[in-house]
Structure 1
Amino acid sequence: MARSLNGLVLAPVEDQAPGQVGTRTRFTYHEKDGEIWAEYSGGDVVRGHLVGTREGDRLDFRYVQLKRDGSTSSGHCVSRVVELADGRLRLEETWEWESQAGSGTSVVEQLADDR
C-alpha cells in the first residue's frame, strides 16, 4: 500500500470541463483508520468536500461542491493511489456526477513542493 495521504496537497494535472475542477484547484487530504476526506477550492470551485474510505490503494468517496456561480453539484469517485518515481503520490480517478449528467476520468498529483 502506498503511504498515507494525510496532510498532502494534490492538484489536477489538466483542466476538466469548464466550470469544474481545474489545475488551479487544490485538494488537502486527510486520512485515518481507513477513512479519507478532503477540502478543496480554486478556479471555479469556491468550496468542495469529499468523504469516503480507503482499502489498500483504492479510494471510494462522494464529493460535493459549491461553484462561483452559486450552483452546487455532487458525485461519486473511485481512485487508485499510485506512487510516482520521484516519490510523489498520484490519484487515477473515475468519477460520475450524481446531481447532473456526466462522468469521466481525471488525474491529480501531489504538488512537487509538498513532500
Structure 2
Amino acid sequence: MARSLDGLVLAPVADQAPGQVGTRTRFAYHERDGEIWAEYAGGDVVRGHLVGTREGDRLDFRYVQLKRDGTTASGHCVSAVVELPDGRVRLEETWEWESQPGSGTSVVEELAADGG
C-alpha cells in the first residue's frame, strides 16, 4: 500500500471543463484509520470538501464544492493511489457528478517539495 495521504497537498495535472477543478486547484488531504477527507480551493472553485474511505490503494469519496459563480455541485469519486518513481503520490480518479450531468477521469499528483 502506498503511503498515507495525511498532510499531502495534491493538484490536478490538467484542467477539467470550465467551472470545475483545474491546475490551480489545491487539495489538502487528511487520513486516519481508513478515513480520508480534504479541503480544496483554487481556480473556479472557491471552497470544496471531500470525505470518504480508503481501503488499500482505493479511495471512495463524495465531494461538494462552491464555485465562483455562486453555484454548488456535488458528486462521487473512486481513486487509485499510485506511488510515482520519485516517491510522490498520484491519484487516478474516476468521478461522476450527482448534482448535474457529467462524468470523467482525472489525475492529481502530490506537489513536489519546491511547490511545483
Q: Which band: TM-score by shorter chain?
A: over 0.9
Residues 47-88 of structure 1: CA deviation (Å, up to 9, x unaligned): 000000000000000000000000000000000000000000
The one-letter code sitting in structure 2 at the alignment partner of 1:15 is D
Structure 1 residues 15 and 83 mapped into 2: Cα distance closer, same or farther (>3 Å)? same
How far 1:114 sits from its partner (Å)? Answer: 6.9
Which residue is equivalent to 2:29? 29
Distance 2:19 2:75 in 1: 15
The one-letter code sitting in structure 2 at the alignment partner of 1:107 is V
**Any unmatched runs of 5+ in structure 1?**
none
The one-letter code sitting in structure 2 at the alignment partner of 1:91 is L
Which residue is equivalent to 2:16? 16
How far 1:113 sits from its partner (Å)? Answer: 1.5
Which residue is equivalent to 1:61? 61
**Any unmatched runs of 5+ in structure 2?**
none
What pairs with 1:65-84 in structure 2 (closer than 5 Å)? Answer: 65-84=65-84
Distance 1:14 1:89 in 2: 16
Which residue is equivalent to 1:104? 104
Which residue is equivalent to 1:52? 52
Q: CA RMSD in A?
A: 1.1
How many residues align? The count is 115
Structure 1 residues 99 and 83 mapped into 2: Cα distance closer, same or farther (>3 Å)? same
The one-letter code sitting in structure 1 at the alignment partner of 2:107 is V
Per the normalisation by structure 1, the TM-score is 0.98
How far 1:108 sits from its partner (Å)? Answer: 0.0
Tell me whether 1:43 sits opposite 2:36 in the alignment. no
Runs of 4+ residues deviating >2 angstroms: none
